[in-house]
Structure 1
Amino acid sequence: MNKRTVLVVDDEAIFRRGLRHLIGTSNTPWEVVGEAKDGLEALEEIERLQPELVITDIRMPKLDGIELQQHIHENHPDIRCFVLSGYNDFRYAQSSLRYGAKDYLLKPIVKEELYRVLNVVDTELTEKEQQHQKLVPNVLSTQERERLLDELVRGELPHAKYGELQRLGITFEKGIYCLIAELDKDSVERNRYERQEAELFSLYMQQFIEEALKGLRSGFVFRRGTSVVALLDAESSAESRQALAQLAGQIAAKIRAEAQLTITIGIGGGVQAIEDVAKSYGEAKIALLYRLTSGGNRVLLYEDPPMQEAASIPTLLTRRSDLEQALLEGVDDDLGERVREGIEQLCGLAASPAAIHEQVCRMLLEAYGLAVDRGVHSQWLSGAEIGGVLQGALAINARTELAAYCASLLHTLQALIRRSDDGGQVHAVDKVVRHIEAHYAEPITLGSMAELVFLNASYLSSLFKSRLGRSFVEILTSIRVREASRRLLHTDDKISSIAYETGFVNIRHFNRVFKSETGRTPKEFRDTLRPDRAKV
Structure 2
Amino acid sequence: MRMIRVLLADDEPVILRGLKKLLSWEELGLMIVGEANDGNELKQLIAECQPDLVISDISMPGCSGIDIIRDIHQSKLPIKVIFISAYQEFSYAKQALQYGALDYVVKPVIKSQLEQVLSRAVSQIRQESEGERNKEMLELYEKKDRIVTIEELLDRLTDGDKGTAVVLTNMGVLVVSSYVSICMLEIDEDTELSLRWEERERKLVEFALHNIIKETMDDIRSGFVFRKGERFGILLQHDCLSESAKLAEDLHSKINSYLKLNVSIGIGSAVDDISSADKSYREAVKALGRKYFIGVNRVITHETFRDEGEAQLSTLAELQAELVVTLTSQNEGRVSVMIQQILQSIRMFAGSSKNLAVSSVCNTIMMLEQELLDFGIKVNESNQELYSILESLIDYATFDKVGEEFEKIVDRMYQQLASRMGNKEVAQLSQVKKYIEENYASNITLESMAALVFMNSYYFSSFFKKHTGQNFKHYVTEVRMKHALQLLQQNDLMVYEIAERVGYNNARHFSDMFKKKYGKLPQEYKQSARKQ
Shorter-chain TM-score range:
0.3 to 0.5
Q: TM-score, normalised by structure 2?
A: 0.36
Q: Between Structure 1 and Structure 2, whose CA radius of gyration is higher?
A: 2
What TM-score does the superposition give when structure 1 sets the normalisation length? 0.36
